[in-house]
Structure 1
């Protein structure tokens, strides 16, 4: 679906290039390249985190299984050692009694005794080797458990940070409740959704005064959280764009609306612009049915998606 979306966006850009200036076309082309690069990077990071956590869990399970086997082998060697020790004691008693017998019988018993002593020495070496192996397995298991705990704690801290961010946004945007603005946390991200009735007039990408206030409040929170990646997505319903001028279709309109939000956020100098990405999704990511007026209104929206940066988690996974 993403590949089809990107291909369609390229086609739209090519079809509309004759209607816009070279600079506008170049800007759109650069934004598309940035979007594609950022999307690929985020997806790669997410896939790497999921795969690394699965690999670590598999390694942890394998070490536990190996530790159980080592315990079983150690118990068996200890039992063999005790049996050999008992045999040695019995032979030593026999040796004392047989000293009175002939030299041949004595030599035979001494040979058996030497063989048992040899076997006992081998068992002791095997037991020592198994103990060393058991100690190493315990140390490896402890180290893996500690790294896994650290990773889980870091991920929990990220989740807690995003919950706090969600609460901060909800508090900052409380005055816009019931005006088409919602704040949600899901999949480790925070979503700020604003319906077009709060932001834009029909067919326009100019942000109204009330909508600007809401975006500025979001910007204040983002300025205080510089380690958050911000994706601004523009969405439309499935009604074909019927306006005129520089807008070609819903793809173009949704992209310009997302870019307009980025422009307002960029006015806050405390926001790192490298954290901002604008994307147009047209009508292809609806959250409600387009068969009713209410559903269409919900689909016409801007979504500001806040994602924690995963640099620390990636670094820890690389050290495992």
Structure 2
């Protein structure tokens, strides 16, 4: 009987031992599964932490850039306002210069119109067909150049009768333009003038011829003295070289310089030029 009981007890122990081993094996498997899951979760957690750190760095970078952008936008707004102001000032300056240029061009156009009208009138009145009388424009000034052989005898400052015919036409032009001034300008050749006690040289002779013509214009032909200017240039502004008789004849001349009173146009041009320099 005891032997039977021992056998039963042994079988019970063996049965219990087998059940425990199965449970341990199952627990070990479950533990391994949990450990694997823990490892996997840890890896994922570390990856998330890394991504979080990277995102935090990007957030800081974006915040910094955003601040800089906001600051730049403010600066750009300021610069844009200043730029617009500068552009407006530049446009105003351009408009002012355009206006000045227009005024200068208008003045020059008016001056040219006056000069052209004057030349046309003089050519018609004086009779340009005479080769010893020339009407031309030099630097905006009108000149009537009359050869001395039409006005004086050699070495003399006495106006000839033939000269008075020419001077009558000149007087008509001057009288028709009472606002103009006229300079009567005498010129000689280079042959030395022999002094006669009154005149010392060619310069004296050129001035004396000018005043002689002015006396005819004022006393005989009705020109206002206030319109006339006497001038003598002597031998110092020749048209051609004084090397021969023909050239010397060309250099002996009297010029009537017509000076229209367009000072207001010149003054305006000068003022505009000064304004542009300032």
> Normalized against structure 1, the TM-score is what?
0.61
Alpha carbons 2:184, 2:214 under 8 Å: kept:
yes
2:146 pairs, out of 170, 191, 194, with: 194
Name the residue aligned to 2:265.
Answer: 312
1:216 aligns with 2:168: yes
**CA-CA distance at 1:281 after TM superposition:** 1.6
Change (3 A) 1:226 1:133: farther
Q: How does 1:241-260 map to 2 (within 5 A)?
A: 241-242=193-194, 244=196, 246-260=198-212
**CA-CA distance at 1:255 after TM superposition:** 0.7
Counterpart CA distance in 1 for 2:164 and 2:244 is 28
Q: Secondary structure at the match of 2:136?
A: strand
Name the residue aligned to 1:154.
Answer: 107
Name the residue aligned to 2:116.
Answer: 163
Name the residue aligned to 1:121.
Answer: 74
Alpha carbons 2:184, 2:230 under 8 Å: kept:
yes
Alpha carbons 1:203, 1:243 under 8 Å: kept:
no
Alpha carbons 1:151, 1:313 under 8 Å: kept:
no
Structure 2: which 5+ runs fail to align?
1-53
> Normalized against structure 2, the TM-score is what?
0.69
**CA-CA distance at 1:181 after TM superposition:** 1.2
Counterpart CA distance in 1 for 2:197 and 2:129 is 32
Structure 1: which 5+ runs fail to align?
1-100
Structure index of larger Rg: 2
**CA-CA distance at 1:245 after TM superposition:** 5.2
Name the residue aligned to 2:27.
Answer: none
Counterpart CA distance in 2 for 1:255 and 1:216 is 21
Alpha carbons 2:144, 2:256 under 8 Å: kept:
yes
* CA-based RMSD: 2.6
**CA-CA distance at 1:172 after TM superposition:** 0.9
**CA-CA distance at 1:274 after TM superposition:** 3.8
Name the residue aligned to 2:127.
Answer: 174
Counterpart CA distance in 1 for 2:199 and 2:223 is 32
